[in-house]
Amino acid sequence: MQQDLRSMNLEEMAALLAEAGQPAFRAKQLFGWIHQKQVAHMEQMHNLGKPLLSYLEQHCHITVMELERKQVSRDGTEKFLFRLADGNDIECVLMRYRGDLSKQRNTLCISSQVGCAMGCTFCATGQGGFVRNLTVGEIVSQVYEVNRHLQAEGDELPVGNVVFMGMGEPLLNLDHVLQAIGLLNHPQGQQIGIRRITVSTCGIVPKLQELAQQKLDLVLAVSLHAPNNEQRSSVMPVNRQYPLEQLMAACRKYQAINRNRISFEYALIAGFNDQPVHVQQLKQLLQGMDCHLNIIPVNPVANTAQFSRPDKKQVSAFVKALQKAGLKASVREEKGTDIDGACGQLRGKVLKQQQSV
């Protein structure tokens, strides 16, 4: 089996080169080409010498990911649909924040799986089911390929923030996600600061405990969406396996170990989870925790017409009520709704088009 260079860390490259009878310093060179310069073709690595290059060409490959489609939203958000080597599609969303020089950044929302097994009823990815986990190389390649795109466009800022909020449940592909984070964060790679990496989960309790033990300084986001078991289970099947008591206990334990503020995602659905009683339940649930509630007006998704999106007034009234109850809360700036910016929507559309051909 050919090894994917983009999936390999420095130690694995060192072992590979030892096997090839190459001097140890070549591992750093190779790592720099793959994870810092982010080349997509082996012949670009011109200082490795012919014997090594031909060895690599025989034994290795570099993740192939073709840009299948790109859509640009009116607000500038860009959505990339990539085709993987096995024909599966994944998507990521680029948000370019401008304004003050110090605040400029390019944030990329990336996928961890093809599809998702968790079946949340409001989520397009969840409706499509699970296909497979992404490899480490496929996870980092989303960043590398978008960087190439930025460079080609003359944008001098590479991706500086990464959020695992695209397709899939990152904690169900935890090993690969952690290895990918290690590469993105690596001092000889792209050096994306660990505080600039967010992992979002629907609440897989044992995996959350495992992540806590890693003692990583990353930003943890937990998809809450409802503050009581009955309602949460009705939209998030995972809640039947790991109900709120267990999830919140795991979050508190996570915070006792890692100390950082936890973000809770709350998709606001008109008439479902936006009532005064929900404010009180949230207050109880989150009491004493250092956390922030991100309120996201639910994105309407095909087959989920039952979820109505609250208007601006309703959203800000709910946020105000939360703040009055002593919680930190804000509306997550919405991006790209006109280009199916919500989770899993673009892939869903392309699949449908393919099926109807």
**Which residues are annotated as catalytic?**
91, 343
Q: Is 169 one of the binding residues for ligand SF4 (CB under 6 A)?
A: yes
The distance of closest approach from Cβ of residue 100 to ligand SAH in the complex, given in angstroms and rounded to an integer, is 27
Please compute Rg for the chain using Cα positions.
Answer: 21
Q: Is 202 one of the binding residues for ligand SAH (CB under 6 A)?
A: yes
Q: Which does 299 bind (CB under 5 to 8 A by kind): ligand SF4, ligand SAH, none?
A: ligand SAH
Alpha helices in 226-344 (DSSP H): 229-235, 238-241, 244-258, 276-286, 312-324
The distance of closest approach from Cβ of residue 269 to ligand SAH in the complex, given in angstroms and rounded to an integer, is 9
**Residue nearer to ligand SF4 on the CB measure, 123 or 192:** 123
Sites for ligand SF4 among residues 209-238 (CB under 6 A): 223
Quote the CA–CA distance of 174 and 23 in Å, as a whole number: 33
Residue 223 — φ and ψ, nearest 5°?
Answer: -80, 110
Contacts 24+ apart (CB under 8 A), 102-108: 104/157, 105/157, 105/160, 105/161, 106/150, 106/155, 106/157, 106/158, 106/159, 106/160, 106/161, 107/159, 107/160, 107/161, 107/162, 107/163, 108/142, 108/143, 108/146, 108/159, 108/161, 108/162, 108/163
- Judged by CB under 6 A, the residue of 298, 319, 321, 327 near ligand SAH is 298
Query: Which range in 4-12, 139-147, 272-280, 298-306 contacts ligand SAH by CB under 6 A?
Result: 298-306
The distance of closest approach from Cβ of residue 199 to ligand SAH in the complex, given in angstroms and rounded to an integer, is 8
**Residue nearer to ligand SAH on the CB measure, 12 or 334:** 334
Question: Residue numbers of the site for ligand SF4 (CB under 6 A)?
Answer: 116, 118-120, 123, 125-126, 168-169, 202, 223, 343
Question: Residue numbers of the site for ligand SAH (CB under 6 A)?
Answer: 122-123, 165, 169, 200-202, 223, 265, 267, 296, 298-299, 301, 342-343
